[in-house]
C-alpha cells in the first residue's frame, strides 16, 4: 500500500521556496527605490576652495575735486560723465559751476584797472610835488649865492652891516640844506608809495591769475584712458550727479587700469590654512558664466576681519591676480573663484554624498548583485564634490548617494505619486 506524504511535508517542500522568493522581492523593492548611484574612480583629484569675490583694479587713478579758495563758494556739479562709460585721455569728465569764479574774474580785472589808473595819477602828482620842491631848492640856492657875494663885497661895510650879511648867509645855508632834505625825504616817501601801489596791483593780478587758473580747474579731464567709475555721495548714498555739491579734494571719479585686475575674496577660518601665495585659481564672472579666467593668489591677509553683516564669523581677505583679463571683465563685477589647493594623483575617490557616518565610523552602501551592502571605509582628503577612499573600496565599485534603506518621507511619497 502506497502512502501519500503528510500535509506538513508537502508544505515544507513547496512553501519555503515561495516564502524566500517573496522575501527577496520585498527586500529588493526596499533597497532599490530610485537610489542615485556614484562610482569609485581612480585618478587625479584636485583639492579646491570655492568662494566669490569682487573684481578690482590693482592700479587706478582718482579724479578728485580741485583745491580752490573759499572765496569762490562751493563746488556744484553741472556736468558729469556717465557711470561706466569709456573715456580717452583729455576727455572732459566733470564740470563745476563757474559762476562765482567768473564773477571774481570780473571784479579782479576791475580792481587791477583801477589800481593802474591810480598809479598813473600818483606818479603825476609825485612828479609835480617834486618839481615844486626842486624849484624851492633852486630859489634857496640862489639866495645863498647872493648872500655869499654880498659878504665877499662887504669889506668896507660897517661891522653891523657885515654881521647882518653873515647872518643872511647862514640863514640861506640852512634854507638850502632844508630844501635838499625835503627833496630827499619826499623822494623816499614817493618811492614807498609807488612800492605799496605796485604791491596792491600785483596782489590783484595774482588774484586774477588765480581766478583764471581756478576756472580751468573747474573742468576735470581724464589723465589716461579707462572706464569712468563714479563715486558715491556720502550725504545721499547715491552716485554723484548733476546738481550735487562736494568739497575740496574729494575723489569723484575712478579710472582703473584695466590691464591689471585682481579679485578680492574672503576665506573663512576653516579654509584659510590651505591658502598660500602662488596657488592657481579658476574664475567665472557671474554675468558671463561661460567665460573662464585664470588667476594666481598674490596676497593672503595675516589678520582676520568680521564678515559683513556678522559680528561672529571671521574671514581673511585674499587677493587674486587675474591673468589676461578680457574686455568684459570690469571692476565691480562678482566672480566665482575656484582656488586649486592641491593635486592628488592616482587616488581612489567617490562622490562626497556617498559617505555616511554613525558618529563612530564612516561607511558607504555598495551596490551588489542583490541590493546594497554596508561597507565601512576610511577616507582621506576631500574637496567640495569628492573624497579620497584609502580603504574599503576598489575602482569601479558603485555606491549609493543616499541611504537605500531609509524610509521615504511623506513629502517624497507624495512627489513619487505625482
Asked if residue 373 has pLDDT above 60, the reply is: yes
DSSP letter at 232? B
Task: Give the separation between CA 155 and CA 116, rounded to whole angstroms.
Answer: 60
Closest Cα partner for 57 from 369, 417, 330, 339? 330
Which DSSP helix (H) or strand (E) runs through 295?
Answer: strand 293-300
The pLDDT assigned to 309 comes to: 62
Distance CA 98, CA 91 (A): 19
Q: Over the stretch 121-154, which tens digit does the pLDDT of each residue have?
A: 999 999 999 999 998 888 888 888 888 888 778 7
User: Can you tell me the distance from the alpha carbon of 213 to that of 34, in angstroms, rounded to the nearest whole number?
Assistant: 79
Counting Cβ atoms within 10 Å, is residue 380 exposed (0-12), middle (13-18) or buried (19+)? middle
Contact present, 133 and 186 (Cβ < 8 Å)? yes
User: At residue 162, does pLDDT exceed 90?
Assistant: no
Mean pLDDT of the chain: 85
pTM of the model: 0.55
Residue 388 contacts residue 354 (beta carbons within 8 Å):
no
What are the C-alpha distances in Å from 290 to residues 261, 328, 332?
19, 12, 18
The Cα–Cα gap between 365 and 358 comes to 13
For the stretch 244-270, pLDDT in tens is 999 888 999 989 888 889 999 999 988
Three cell numbers written together for 300: 593672503
Asked whether the beta carbons of 361 and 15 are under 8 A apart, the reply is no
Angstrom distance (rounded) from CA 401 to CA 366:
10
Amino acid at each position: 500500500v502506497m502512502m501519500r506524504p503528510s500535509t506538513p511535508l508537502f508544505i515544507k517542500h513547496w512553501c519555503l521556496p515561495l516564502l524566500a522568493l517573496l522575501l527577496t522581492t520585498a527586500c529588493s523593492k526596499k533597497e532599490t527605490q530610485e537610489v542615485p548611484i556614484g562610482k569609485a574612480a581612480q585618478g587625479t583629484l584636485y583639492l579646491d576652495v570655492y568662494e566669490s569675490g569682487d573684481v578690482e583694479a590693482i592700479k587706478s587713478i582718482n579724479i578728485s575735486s580741485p583745491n580752490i579758495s573759499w572765496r569762490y563758494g562751493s563746488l556744484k556739479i553741472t556736468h558729469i560723465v556717465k557711470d561706466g562709460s569709456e573715456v580717452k585721455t583729455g576727455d572732459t569728465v566733470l564740470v563745476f559751476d563757474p559762476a562765482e569764479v567768473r564773477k571774481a574774474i570780473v571784479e579782479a580785472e576791475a580792481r587791477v584797472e583801477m589800481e593802474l589808473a591810480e598809479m598813473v595819477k600818483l606818479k603825476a602828482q609825485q612828479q609835480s610835488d617834486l618839481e615844486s620842491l626842486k624849484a624851492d631848492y633852486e630859489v634857496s640856492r640862489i639866495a645863498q649865492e647872493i648872500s655869499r657875494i654880498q659878504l665877499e663885497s662887504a669889506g668896507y661895510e660897517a661891522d653891523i652891516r657885515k654881521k647882518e650879511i653873515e647872518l643872511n648867509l647862514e640863514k640861506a645855508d640852512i634854507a638850502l640844506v632844508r630844501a635838499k632834505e625835503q627833496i630827499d625825504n619826499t623822494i623816499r616817501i614817493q618811492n614807498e608809495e609807488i612800492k605799496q601801489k605796485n604791491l596792491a596791483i600785483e596782489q590783484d593780478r595774482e588774484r586774477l591769475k588765480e581766478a583764471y587758473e581756478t576756472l580751468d580747474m573747474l573742468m576735470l579731464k581724464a589723465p589716461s584712458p579707462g572706464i569712468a567709475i563714479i563715486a558715491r555721495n556720502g550725504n545721499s548714498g547715491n552716485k554723484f550727479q548733476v546738481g550735487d555739491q562736494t568739497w575740496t579734494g574729494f575723489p569723484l571719479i575712478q579710472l582703473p587700469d584695466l590691464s591689471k585686475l585682481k579679485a578680492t575674496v574672503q576665506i573663512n577660518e576653516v579654509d584659510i590654512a590651505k591658502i598660500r601665495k602662488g596657488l592657481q585659481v579658476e574664475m567665472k564672472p557671474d554675468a558671463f558664466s561661460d567665460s573662464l579666467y585664470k588667476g594666481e593668489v598674490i596676497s593672503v591677509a595675516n589678520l582676520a576681519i568680521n564678515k559683513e553683516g556678522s559680528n561672529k564669523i571671521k574671514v581673511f581677505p585674499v587677493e587674486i591676480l587675474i591673468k589676461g583679463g578680457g574686455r568684459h571683465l570690469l571692476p565691480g563685477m562678482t566672480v566665482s573663484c575656484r582656488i586649486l589647493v592641491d593635486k592628488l594623483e592616482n587616488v581612489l575617490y567617490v562622490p562626497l554624498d556617498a559617505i555616511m557616518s554613525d558618529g563612530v565610523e564612516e561607511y558607504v552602501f555598495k551596490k551588489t548583485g542583490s541590493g546594497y551592502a554596508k561597507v565601512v571605509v576610511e577616507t582621506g582628503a576631500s574637496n567640495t564634490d569628492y573624497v579620497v577612499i584609502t580603504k574599503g573600496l576598489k575602482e569601479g565599485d558603485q555606491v549609493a548617494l543616499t541611504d537605500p534603506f531609509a524610509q521615504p518621507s511623506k513629502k517624497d511619497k507624495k512627489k513619487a505619486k505625482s
